[in-house]
C-alpha cells in the first residue's frame, strides 16, 4: 500500500520537468531572405557581364550541355553591401546545345539561375549556378540576331528635341 502511494509522486515530478523543459525551449526562427528587384537596368554592362560570367561558369562545370548566352530576363538583390552579405540573383535566357546524339532536337531554350555574392569591396563572386527545369517557348536561334546593339544617329536639325 505504501508503495502505491509513493509511486505516483516521482512520476508526477518527471512529467512536470519534461513539460517545463519542452516549453522553455523556443522553436528555431527561420529568417527568410527577401529578394527585391534590382535598380540597375537589365541591359546594362554590369548585369550583362555577370550573366555571361554565369554562363561561362556553368559551361566549365557541365560538359554534356553547352549553353549560349542570349540575355538577362530578371535580376533580384538581397542583403546589404556594407554588411558584406549582399547577394544578386540573375535569371538568364540561354540556348542549350546538347552533345548527346540520341536526341534529335539538340537545340532548345532554357533559363539559368546564377547567384553572386557581393563583398564589401564590391567584388562579385559566383556562389551557385543551376539550370532551371522550365520550358521556354519560342525560337532561340541567336545566329539571326544582331550581335551589336543598334546605333542611333542623332539628326542634325533636331537641336536636342525628341523625335
Contact 88/124 with Cβ under 8 angstroms? yes
Question: What is d(CA 125, CA 123) in angstroms, rounded to the nearest whole number?
Answer: 6
> What is the CATH code for 36-132?
3.10.450.10
Question: What is d(CA 78, CA 86) in angstroms, rounded to the nearest whole number?
Answer: 6
SS3 (DSSP) at 142: coil
- Burial profile 80-92: b = 16 or more Cβ within 10 angstroms, e = fewer: eeeeeebbbbbbb
H or E segment and range at residue 110: strand 107-118
What's the whole-model pTM score?
Answer: 0.62
pLDDT tens, per residue, the chain with 163 residues: 565 666 677 777 877 887 776 665 666 676 777 889 988 888 888 889 999 999 999 999 888 888 888 989 999 998 888 777 888 999 999 888 777 666 555 677 888 999 998 888 888 889 999 988 877 776 666 654 444 433 333 344 445 444 4
pLDDT, position 160: 47
Amino acid at each position: 500500500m505504501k508503495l502505491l502511494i509513493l509511486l505516483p509522486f516521482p512520476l508526477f515530478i518527471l512529467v512536470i520537468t519534461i513539460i517545463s523543459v519542452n516549453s522553455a525551449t523556443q522553436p528555431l526562427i527561420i529568417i527568410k531572405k527577401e529578394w527585391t528587384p534590382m535598380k540597375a537596368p537589365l541591359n546594362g554592362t554590369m548585369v550583362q557581364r555577370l550573366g555571361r560570367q554565369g554562363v561561362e561558369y556553368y559551361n566549365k562545370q557541365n560538359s554534356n550541355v553547352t549553353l549560349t548566352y542570349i540575355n538577362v530576363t530578371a535580376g533580384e538583390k538581397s542583403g546589404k553591401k556594407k554588411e558584406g552579405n549582399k547577394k544578386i540573383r540573375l535569371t538568364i535566357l540561354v540556348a542549350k546545345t546538347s552533345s548527346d546524339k540520341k536526341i534529335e532536337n539538340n537545340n532548345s531554350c532554357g533559363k539559368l539561375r546564377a547567384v553572386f555574392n557581393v563583398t564589401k569591396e564590391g567584388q562579385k563572386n559566383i556562389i551557385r549556378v543551376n539550370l532551371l527545369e522550365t520550358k521556354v517557348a519560342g525560337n532561340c536561334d541567336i545566329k539571326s540576331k544582331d550581335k551589336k546593339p543598334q546605333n542611333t544617329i542623332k539628326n542634325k536639325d533636331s537641336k536636342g528635341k525628341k523625335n
